[in-house]
């Protein structure tokens, strides 16, 4: 009579018997197919390592794909990308790391400006790209106040100085290295974009409303 443990082992063996092994090297797993990526995504979810909001294998798989497009390894993609209000984004530190690793960055400087406690206090970021392209951005307390961010609960209250820095950084990297980041904005910026309202009108009402407007317009 087989034990429960033996039964479970048999099930695992049966379900994996026809699957090719996933290669593992010095840099970790090597995902060679969509099936490999999906199996890895399932393992991530089962391990409890999936970030909040990516608890489903499908979400993990999409994050891995997004990371692959911008040059992040599977685990780096999981730790450095996020979906906020339906928008994919990348954390500011990861964005800078990708730009530095691209070989296109000639020089980069972040400097604190203005007097702390005044509207002029903030950060100035200057970057030079190969080909003598330069981008300079500043983001100050005054800018944050005008955008209704200053004093906002969350990161703007907990570490406002760092948020000023990340906002200036995000603008420069996106303007000068949009091709490297594939147009992605930073998490620190996307988090402050208001969620778009959701239309909860039933489908039947939407269709009826559309027909009514068309009929009315044609009259």
Q: Please write the tens of the pLDDT for every residue from 66-119.
A: 999 999 999 999 999 988 888 889 999 999 999 999 999 999 999 999 999 999
CB of 60 closer than 8 Å to CB of 50: yes
CB of 133 closer than 8 Å to CB of 104: no
Q: What is the pLDDT of residues 142-199, one digit of tens each?
A: 999 999 999 999 999 999 999 999 999 999 999 999 999 999 999 999 999 887 655 5
Give the pLDDT confidence score for residue 168 in this predicted structure.
97
Q: Where are the beta strands (DSSP E) in the chain?
A: 23-25, 28-30, 81-84, 87-90, 105-113, 122-129, 133-140, 185-186
- Return the structure tokens found at 137: 């951005």
Cα dihedral value 123, 177, 74, 21, nearest 10: -160
Q: Could you tell me how many residues make up the chain?
A: 219
CB of 140 closer than 8 Å to CB of 164: yes
Give the pLDDT confidence score for residue 53 in this predicted structure.
82
Give the pLDDT confidence score for residue 199 in this predicted structure.
54
CA distance 78 to 63: 6
Q: What is the mean pLDDT of residues 126-142?
A: 97
Going by C-beta distance under 8 Å and a sequence separation of 6 or more, which residues neighbour residue 109? 125, 126, 127
pLDDT band at 12 (very low <50, low <70, confident <90, very high): very low
């Amino acid at each position: 009579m087989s034990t429960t443990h033996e039964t479970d082992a048999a099930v695992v063996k049966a379900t994996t018997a026809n699957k090719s092994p996933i290669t593992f090297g010095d840099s970790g797993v090597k995902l060679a197919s969509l099936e490999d990526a999906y199996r890895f995504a399932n393992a991530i979810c089962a391990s409890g390592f999936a970030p909040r909001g990516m608890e489903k294998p499908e979400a993990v798989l999409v994050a891995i794909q997004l990371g692959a497009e911008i040059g992040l390894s599977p685990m780096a993609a999981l730790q450095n990308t996020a979906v906020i209000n339906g928008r994919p984004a990348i954390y500011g530190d990861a964005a800078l790391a990708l730009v530095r690793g691209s070989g296109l960055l000639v020089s980069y400087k972040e400097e604190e400006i203005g007097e702390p406690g005044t509207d002029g206090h903030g950060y100035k970021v200057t970057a030079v790209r190969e080909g003598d392209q330069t981008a300079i951005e500043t983001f100050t307390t005054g800018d944050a106040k005008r955008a209704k961010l200053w004093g906002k609960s969350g990161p703007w209250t907990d570490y406002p100085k760092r948020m000023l820095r990340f906002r200036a950084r995000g603008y420069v990297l996106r303007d000068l290295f949009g091709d490297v980041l594939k147009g992605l904005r930073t998490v620190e910026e996307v988090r402050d974009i208001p969620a778009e309202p959701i239309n909860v009108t039933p489908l039947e009402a939407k269709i009826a409303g559309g027909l009514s407007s068309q009929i009315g317009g044609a009259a």
